Amino acid sequence: MREILVSEPSYVTRFSCVGAACRDHCCKRWNITIDKATYNKYLKSEIPDIRKITREEMLLTKKNVQQWALIKFNEEGNCSFFTEDSLCYIHKVAGPNALSHTCSSYPRTQTAYKNEELKSLNLSCPESVRHILFNEQAMNLETTTVLKSNFNPSSAVNMEARLVNLFCANLMMQPQYRVEENLYAIIYFIIFYQKITGSLEEKIGQMEGAYESIVAQMASGALTQAMQNVKELQTLELQLLLGLQKHMLETEGLRGQDMLLDYMIRLNHFFGSDKTEEQLSSGLSQLKKGWDDIALPWLNQRPYIMRNFFQYRFYHDQFGMKRQQPLLKEIYLIVVDYFFMKSLLSAAALEKGHLTDDDLINVMYSYSTVRQHDRKVDDKFSQDIDRFKRNDDLSVLNLLV
């Protein structure tokens, strides 16, 4: 038997579906795949309605045993098993064990390495967002060991990459007035790390020295002063805001898109196509003032909210550990996500004069429906960002001021 270490943050263990109370249920407007075993079970069910819906409202795809069929949507865009009381008919009459893998697992996710498994939740679920953001202990990690006959068919964790991930996550936890200062520190660390050479043991000593130096600069205020030398780059900001709104509108048919559009309409008040260059510049300034005067004081009453978001991204995305692209590109994409959501929240704050927990949940889950569920969309998003920043990864610093 082989020992597998299972890691599970507190937000995963505390999560439970709220069912009919969900503000935007997951039984609509996305591909709900049915595995072969579940499809056959429904087709032979003792419950006539389950058999009928399976025959008439499922599309056989037979891509593989896990993606054997797709559930068709009704005129309202809901799953054919979705009931008038906003519950799942399968769950209601046959129990949770009768659900397909897709339906029983969402929003839960799992990343497997050779002898490790890391559990998480997708941010596209509103209840996931609530558990991740609004609990100070959300990122506390619980670990257990399970026995399996074999190791997972994946490579082991790269220890150097894990160390980089941990150093960055710890820099995010250092108390600063603005989370942008933590991000600046992380970018500073990444730039240093990319220049060092030698064995892992030699690198560890250099990384520890750099980490301690950066923490000291954060505590003394030297890092905040260094950030003042970073110039605002409104051209890049405008390209991102206008380009990302276009990207979100072109990605059609996703759950949460109506909610996202509602917040984008408020943002577009500052950046309509009829605006002059001077008005666009003024719009950016107003958004930043809205953040500084309304959003930031409110968030700093619970400073763990935004830190939880970034800690979640480092853990959930396995930042630096999958190495599908350079580290600076990885952090750039995370900062862009934050920049756009921050802009949406600023526009809402200016319109209403305040922010609420609901605003954060609405923006994060609806934006994440676009960002977390389609690899092709994610690849296009990454390509668009490259075009806006003209392949200058260091321009990420300009988004922090």
Number of domains in the chain: 3
What is the tally of helices (H) and strands (E) in the chain?
A: 18, 7
Domain containing 82: what range?
27-105
Judge whether 2 and 147 are in contact, CB under 8 Å: yes
Indicate whether 219 and 236 sit together in one domain. no
Q: Are residues 171 and 206 in the same domain?
A: yes
Co-location of 217 and 325 in the same domain: no
Residue 168 lies in a domain: yes
Model pLDDT, residue 257: 85
Closest CA to 170 of 200, 139, 142, 136: 139
Q: Is residue 204 part of a domain?
A: yes
Radius of gyration of the chain (CA): 23
pLDDT at 390: 67
DSSP for residue 394: G
Residue 113 lies in a domain: no
Euclidean distance between CA atoms 187 and 328, whole angstroms? 7
DSSP string for 258-290: HHHHHHHHHHHTSS-TT--HHHHHHHHHHHHHH
For residue 199, what are the β-bridge partners? none
Name residue, tokens 């110039």.
231
| Whether residue 346 is found in the same domain as residue 241 | yes
Q: DSSP class of residue 396?
A: G
Characterize the bridge pairing of strands 2-9 and 116-121.
parallel
- Are 219 and 245 in a shared domain? no
Upper half-sphere CA count for residue 85 (Cβ side, 13 Å): 4
Could you tell me if residue 10 is inside a domain? no
Shared-domain flag, residues 324 and 291:
yes
Q: Rounded CA gap, 365 and 25, in Å? A: 11
Contact 165, 7 (CB under 8 A): no
**Are 203 and 264 in the same domain?**
no
Q: End of a domain among 86, 105, 124?
A: 105
Report if residue 325 sits inside a domain.
yes
- Say how far apart CA 12 and CA 137 lie, in whole Å: 11
Q: What pLDDT is stored for residue 256 in this prediction? A: 84
3-state secondary structure of 111: strand
Q: Are residues 265 and 357 in the same domain?
A: yes
Q: Which helix H or strand E contains 197, and what residues bound it?
A: none
CA 156 to chain centre: 24
**108-113 β-sheet, strand order:** 108-113, 116-121, 2-9, 141-148
Q: What is the pLDDT of residue 194?
A: 94
Whether cis (ω within 30° of 0) applies to the bond prior to 297 is no
Shared-domain flag, residues 279 and 374 = yes
Q: Is 247 a member of any domain?
A: yes
Query: Of 90, 105, 120, which marks where a domain is finished?
Result: 105
In a domain, 242, yes or no: yes
Q: Which of 217, 200, 7 is nearest to 120 (CA)?
A: 7
Yes or no: say if 370 and 254 are a contact pair by the CB < 8 Å rule. yes
pLDDT at residue number 125: 94
Are 396 and 312 in a shared domain? Answer: yes
Looking at the structure, tell me whether residues 395 and 260 fall in a common domain: yes
Residue that finishes a domain, picked among 105, 124, 141:
105
Q: Residue 22 domain-assigned?
A: no
- The pLDDT, as a whole number, for residue 354 is 96
Amino acid making up residue 33:
T
Q: In this structure, are 285 and 358 located in the same domain?
A: yes
Rounded mean pLDDT for each run of 10 residues along the chain, 401 residues in total? 94 93 85 88 91 89 90 84 87 87 90 95 96 96 93 92 96 95 97 94 95 97 94 89 83 81 92 84 94 96 96 95 84 93 97 96 93 69 74 84 88
Q: What's 88's DSSP letter?
A: B
